[in-house]
Amino acid sequence: MQLLCFRAARARVDCLFAVVVFCLFGICSAGAATRPRVRAVKVDRPPVIDGVLDDACWQSCARITGFRESQFGREPSERTEVMLCRDESNLYVAFVCYDSQPALIRATQTQINSSISNDDYVGVLIDPEHAFLTHYHFEVNAIGTQYHSVPEGAPANITWRGDWQAAAKITDLGWQAEMAIPFAGLRYPAGQRTFSIQFRRYIPRLDERSTWPFAGAVMDQTKFADLVDLELPPQAAKPVLMPYFLSSSHRGSSTGRIGFDYKREMPNHVVFLATCNPDFSDVQDAVASVSYSYTEQYLPERRPFFQEGSSLFPDSTVFYSRRIGEIDWGLKAFGKLGPHTLAVVDALNWGKENHLAAAYAYDPNPDLSVSLWASLSRVSAQSTAQPRLSTCVAPGFVKRWRSAAGRTSFSVRRYDSFNSDGAPSGYSIHTSLSRDSAPRHFDYALSWLATSGDFYVRDGYTPIVGVRGCALGIGYHDRPQAGRFIYWRTDVNAARYWSEDGGVHHDSVSVSLDCDTRNEWSFGATLKSGSWLGLADFTAAGRVEWLERHLYGCGSLVYVIGKRSGRRYREVDFSQSLRPLGKLTISIGSEWAKLGSPGVPETKLLLTLLANYEVAPDAVIGLWLVGRGSDKNVCITYKRTARSGSDVYFIYGYPNSQRTEHRIAVKVVVPVAFF
């Protein structure tokens, strides 16, 4: 009887899905926001990018003022001014950052494209498509260290992702910065004359971010300014070839390996990628936690081929690329053509496996997206993996509503799996309604899930099948302008899921409180109670962090006590980053977890240590150590990543081995741009 009810619920959701999609297609336009307009002065003689704003071109530029604190739109603590100019090839941006206490300006990161989020920095967000969906991010800290993010993601190699220039200088009045952003590094449609743009500044000692224009506490890209009257060069195809050569000696034998990556950006800004014999073994992988989990842990993908363009591809239910091991070839294409987005990837291991995933999305406006996702995995008849063919198809949509206090999103997606060789085929339905809110407003997340017991996608990540149920979370937060605390948040969450036979599979209720102080301490506490397959589950957790807005010196300690699966449970997590010498940085992490009787107690220990010594701005010696129980793995690297030219690596060991391997390798990557 319960099974019939489960299937009836599935049929009702199918009907609801069709009705809602039909209704939402009638909502075809988003209200046009009133946006400020700004122009970049065209100059014949561009500025020298040195952080000194004495160039003649800056004297003819109007100054953009009126920055607002990003949470409440208040007057910021310190004044910021921006100037813009351009020539045929670049957009130039200058920042003047006044600071009443210049001695407290913080800038410690020196490695390009490493996080500068704990430094004083300025940034430019650019949406060259003027579609209000994605943006490029260009940032520089107060000593000129650059950070750059691309909407669909890209590897760190500068030739591959595109170069740009920036410089900064600390002065008696604060600090100032200059940027030169090549139009060739942006993807925009033919005939484009308007970009969306926003400028921002962050002061870590105050934990204050200010922006122009103000786009709300929950960033609303439709409120960015319009950068108008641009005269942009036509887009051209931009092919880049990046071959690598690897020589290694391991266990008395020497081997060589070659491969390449190839990228071609077409004038319509569709990107084609190919990889041949990629070296995945030397990519440092994420380390799985020893924290007790009832299901398989989700880990992020770090291999560059799968990272690039990943935001356009299906979610992990359809395509979890970590299921794919070594490959011989990989092909990928992705891009936007007006309101249409298409992404396809194919990873092949000749004669053994083929993994294909594709996504199509139609975005008629920034607040509606209708999409279709699919994946296909095929293994050879000789493979022990069954079924030989596993496929998933997943249509869905997302609808958003914006207001001054936040953004509400409603999404529905249905996943259907199809498998050969008599393997079961099933379905999963995910529905969610959520709201991200500004401070002093409630936010919430309500979700409903139904997954049949026969749902299986070989290349997907579905930790639990054969359940249906819902989860609700409500939160409230504030950023007080005065007092001891700079931020606090409280959350209440509840969830209950039933098995197909009608019994409770698992449920939980939790309450949490987090707060940050002005002197950079952070505290948190969580109480959680529930059950899993009838076994009691109760934990109390406490957290403390120190120097949380410092790149070096920050650390954290977490202690968890209670019951998991009806057994006594304790966990201690510790992390600390240090800079004992000017060019030596160390990050230490440890996790200890113990699950008590009945039965044999289980104790797990994880230790990680990452040490980097900066030989030069583009050269680093690194030590990576992972200890898990009695197993220890040590990997030592020397990496020189030139701004232009070849990248060179000397490697001892493997970064992801269970135990240390006495292997020595030299790897050279030679990027070649044909434009």
Q: What rounded mean pLDDT belongs to the chain?
A: 90
Three-state secondary structure readout of 486-540: EEEEEEEEEEEEEECCCCEEEEEEEEEEEEEECCCEEEEEEEEEEEECCEEEEEE
Strand ranges in 134-252 using DSSP code E only, listed in sequence order: 136-141, 146-149, 165-171, 174-182, 195-203, 208-212, 225-228, 238-250
| Token output for 629 | 């129980």
Dihedral of CA atoms 595, 598, 601, 606 in degrees, nearest 10, equals -20
Distance CA(175)–CA(180), nearest Å, equals 18
CB contact at 8 A, 453 and 500: yes
SS3 634: strand
Q: Hunting for tokens 């449970």 — which residue is that?
A: 569
Residue given tokens 């000749």 in the structure block: 350
**How many Cβ atoms sit within 10 Å of the Cβ of residue 110?**
16
Cα(378)–Cα(358) distance, integer angstroms: 15
Quick check: 270 and 344 in contact, CB under 8 A?
no
pLDDT (0 to 100) of residue 269: 77
Kindly calculate the radius of gyration of the chain based on its CA atoms and give it in whole angstroms.
Answer: 26
pLDDT tens, position by position, 457-494: 999 999 999 999 999 999 999 999 889 999 999 999 99
Pairing of strands 467-478, 41-42: unpaired
pTM greater than 0.85: yes
Query: How much is the average pLDDT of 72-89?
Result: 95
pLDDT at 183: 93
- Collapsing DSSP to helix, strand or coil, 58 comes out as helix
pLDDT by residue (tens digit) across 160-190? Answer: 777 899 999 999 999 999 999 999 888 888 8
The per-residue pLDDT for range 3-59, each reduced to its tens digit, is 333 344 444 445 444 434 444 444 444 444 589 999 999 999 999 999 999 999 998
Residues 618-634 have a mean pLDDT of 93
Going from the C-alpha of 631 to that of each of 266, 627, 628, 636, the distances in angstroms are 48, 6, 5, 17
Q: Does residue 675 have a pLDDT over 80?
A: no
Question: Which one, of 164, 163, 185, 167, lies nearest residue 176 by Cα?
Answer: 167
Q: Which pLDDT score, from 0 to 100, does residue 285 have?
A: 85
Span 282-302, average pLDDT: 90
The answer to whether 125 touches 200, Cβ cutoff 8 Å, is: yes
| CB contact at 8 A, 656 and 281 | yes
Q: Is the dihedral angle over the CA atoms 451, 453, 459, 464 positive or is it negative?
A: positive
The answer to whether the bond into 387 is cis (omega within 30° of 0) is: yes
**What does the pLDDT read at residue 306?**
92
Buried b (16+ CB within 10 A) or exposed e, 647-671: bbbebbbbbbbeebeebebebebeb
Return d(Cα 131, Cα 43) in angstroms, integer.
Answer: 28
Cα 241 to Cα 260: distance, rounded to the nearest angstrom: 7
**What phi, psi does 148 have (nearest 5°)?**
-145, 125
Residue carrying the six token digits 């010196």: 553
DSSP state of 213: S
CB atoms within 10 A of CB 16: 13
- Distance (Å, rounded) from C-alpha 625 to C-alpha 553? 20
Per-residue pLDDT tens over the stretch 366-421: 999 999 999 999 998 776 667 899 999 999 999 999 998 899 999 999 999 999 98
Tally of residues, the chain: 675
Nearest CA among 488, 529, 485, 533 for reference residue 509? 529
Residue type, position 673, single letter: A
